[in-house]
Amino acid sequence: MSEFTKILGDAGENFAAEYLKKNGYKILAKNFRVQTAEIDIIAELDEKIIFVEVKTRSNTRRGLPAEAVNLRKQKKIIQAASVFLQDEIYSDRACRFDVIEVYSDGKEFKIRHIENAFEVITDF
């Protein structure tokens, strides 16, 4: 990963977290890691736990950002989510998986929030 990509990705995650806060979400964790899996943002809204994958792009030459959240990536996010939900504080909560696409031209950011971007097909 290039330094530019890392900086752009970090800026996109921060912008997405601020967007969520402004829309009533409570941020519970950022960059939650377990083994080889990571969740960019874990938030709460109306007693529901929201696992958010943020994809930031400066252009769409390689496709839409959400297209990068393929089945392999979804499985990793679900794996990390299952660990997070083992905490008895959150174990009985409903959850969903969102993707936030962040577009930046270097000056401003635009967001596309995709709620329920994917679902768990099998049990945790």
DSSP of 42-110: EEEETTEEEEEEEEEES--TT--GGGGS-HHHHHHHHHHHHHHTTSTTTTT--EEEEEEEEEE-SS-EE
Report the alpha-carbon distance of residue 109 to residue 69 in Å, rounded: 20
pTM of structure: 0.91
Confidence of residue 3 (pLDDT cuts 50, 70, 90): confident
11 three-state secondary structure? helix
Of all residues in the chain, what percent carry a pLDDT higher than 70? Answer: 96
79: pLDDT strictly greater than 80? yes
For 7-60, how does the pLDDT look when each residue is reduced to its tens digit (9 = 90+)?
888 889 999 999 999 999 999 999 999 988 999 999 999 999 999 999 999 888
124: pLDDT strictly greater than 50? no
Quote the pLDDT of residue 8. Answer: 81
Task: Write out the two tokens for 60.
Answer: 């769409």
Residue 17's CB is within 10 A of a number of other CB atoms, namely 19
